[in-house]
Structure 1
């Protein structure tokens, strides 16, 4: 059977051949650059892809520029809110996915996993959606035979389960009432007042607020700030998880203290002049004594994820 290549694939291959044969050396595609290219294609955004591969958007932009120069083709059409693949980019996406899969298979074949077992990782719900997908993907590549059990709950619960030997590593909020200083601070950011875009909750009196459960640092910081400012307020909603606070804000039933990095439409940060400042909140990473090599690797991935987050946000 005769295989007929598509016109776009033929054009891409011809461009690479003409540009490289003249120099007598065929260029090689870097797997790290291909991984960034595939991430951008799948996310439709340099910013979202940067978070996924733990690089800055500018670093990804430079990688793609060099890749386009190597292949002699434009791979993306850059629009106001998104990027999309050119026909040549669509061809490369198929090659890129296959090359990355082959690379992973080859490495796995020769570097058989020497570490196996289970690892318990606990985190609070505000952190899970922010870094876990990328962290777990990285860890799975380095320790494919280790089963990771992820538990989501309050900081107090996570620390109790760590002390009971049920978890190996926890990522928790620092400064909760009755919680001593433990672990290493891996992230710090402002806690800000948040409400619905165009909403009126922030203008009501007494001010309706949605707070986390008792014993949460966010709740303590909010109550202290409101009492210090002498503002009239009422606790309209008290929620076990930050998703409950978010629901109350989206419904324009209350305002809430929220990490700045989690504010996204239809929510917005309330004018700082209207409500008292809340200060910074911190996340700490606490590991069980005698942590395994696999646990130490996971620690490195978590810290790297937050460093990349801080770089991308300019903090």
Structure 2
């Protein structure tokens, strides 16, 4: 790392930030980061203090700049680790690309978006509650609820006449009542689930570190013990937070629409069919899902 107001994060040869930015910029209601051309700006909380970062891509590296000045070495290391986790930069995708090149479905999708990596949600509380917020509603309304949730209960920093937000803390949400969230158009059940997850995180009933010690099956079962977390939610969290490349949310409507388009069907395929199909992708099912999502826009 450089002792300047920026750090350099090396990236694999097959990493393409532009592909990831398309995914990150898929909703104009997103409040947790901003994409401006080829620059990605995000507010993080490191050691209880907010830290704004600006990310751009160079040759086999990301440049991370700090608009408010050089952070401490400890904070710089934390930012480096966050970005490494966020873009799954430690993953060798050679096996995935080889498999995709030989797969009748993925060979039509993956080359168009080569360099895309699973854009993660490193924080377990955010991953779980964002998945719950998105249950059984369309993506547009899910982002509407998320925006309200963040702007009511998160923290904000202003820079150059723009607002940058932090996702609400689990401690803040654990102290809410169901009516607090119903006022934002959460259903009663969804409000109960989100508050219950917050309490489980605060009490350390469930932790990311603890989950990562479990095997795939036990990890999924542990997540599904949380009220409001079914198979789709567990698979989504395992895929986007816990780096389980075999996770696959077979009931996901976006995956169904992508496959319908690929097959030229007049209706979306059944969940059972999608689940069986996904086994062709073996340990790369999560990456197959992410590329199928990516095929739906841009």
TM-score, normalized by the shorter chain, greater than 0.5: no
TM-score by length of 2: 0.25
Task: Give 1 or 2: higher strand fraction.
Answer: 1
TM-score by length of 1: 0.24
Higher alpha-carbon Rg: 1
